[in-house]
Amino acid sequence: MSEEIMTCVDVELEEQLIAEASRLAIEENPENAPPLADNAALNDNELAMLTGKKWKNGRVLRVSFLDGIPSVQKRVAECAKTWSEHANISFDFGDHPKSEIRISFKHKGSWSYLGTDALSRKQTEPTMNFGWLKPSTSDAKLRRVVLHEFGHALGCIHEHASPDVEIPWNKEKVYTYYAGPPNNWTKQKIYNNILKKYSGKVTQFSMFDTKSIMLYPVSNKLTDGDYQVGFNRELSDQDKKFVAKMYPKVCEIE
């Protein structure tokens, strides 16, 4: 039997939090500020949506668990460190009174807020959730979802939503598939999570990479022609290069 396609869901900030998230993002890293000259015609909220979500380079992000089983927590913490081999960001897992990333296992699905969007959540709220991890989950499956969600936490978007994407989706089949169980998604949710592309202006993106950990499996049944992508379980060479550029370890002085 083939492995079930479990899709990570995009989490988006509520409309009333967008302006505050934008303020916090620029406070964290001034590079997140949108270029003003290009955007003179936009209102405040539209402008806020063009704000970047990158952490300050070299940041030690505090990570705490809101719930969960210690053996699974330990495996999550071990796996997340893989990103720090390539990005100049480290994760300090512990029982912190205040933390930037807070993990829960009790909500539905797997998701994470994108980069600094996590700063606008309350300290009692999770910023990342692993709904399908259990002590019996295999290492391969755990790595796939943990690396993927921590990629979001660093500010990486879904590879299938990259402005450079070229997946020949069969839209009718996509809507039919995700409207059914176990997803039961609305049309809007399907559009937002599967078909929508981000604008090249707001996102850090690289050339479309079918090996990316940020790409979830694409089934042949949902595309036109012969097109599918398997289960990526490790960071691709391009993922590594991408985060190394986003969070460089060596300060280059020109």
- Tell me the sheet residues that pair with 60: 90
Q: What is the nearest approach in angstroms of Zn ion to the Cβ of residue 212?
A: 11
Q: What is the nearest approach in angstroms of Zn ion to the Cβ of residue 176?
A: 22
Nearer to Zn ion by C-beta: 34 or 185? 185
Question: 């500020």: which residue's tokens?
Answer: 33
Nearer to Zn ion by C-beta: 102 or 148? 148
Q: What is the nearest approach in angstroms of Zn ion to the Cβ of residue 85?
A: 21
Closest by CA to 48, choosing from 75, 18, 8, is 18
Where are any strands of DSSP class E within 100-228? 101-104, 110-112, 128-130
The binding site for Zn ion (CB under 5 A) comprises 8
3-state secondary structure at position 38: helix
C-alpha span between 149 and 6 (Å, rounded) = 13
Nearer to Zn ion by C-beta: 8 or 119? 8
Q: What is the nearest approach in angstroms of Zn ion to the Cβ of residue 27?
A: 26
Q: What is the nearest approach in angstroms of Zn ion to the Cβ of residue 155?
A: 12
Q: What is the rounded end-to-end Cα distance, in angstroms, of the chain?
A: 55
Q: Are 127 and 121 in contact (CB under 8 A)?
A: yes
The residue whose Cβ lies closest to Zn ion is 8
Helix (H) and strand (E) counts for the chain? 7, 5
CA 44 to chain centre: 25
Nearer to Zn ion by C-beta: 196 or 249? 196
| Percent helix, percent strand, percent coil in the chain, to nearest 5 | 40, 10, 55
Q: What is the nearest approach in angstroms of Zn ion to the Cβ of residue 131?
A: 13
Nearer to Zn ion by C-beta: 8 or 13? 8
Nearer to Zn ion by C-beta: 34 or 151? 151
Residue 190 neighbours by CB under 8 Å, 6+ apart: 174, 175, 178, 179
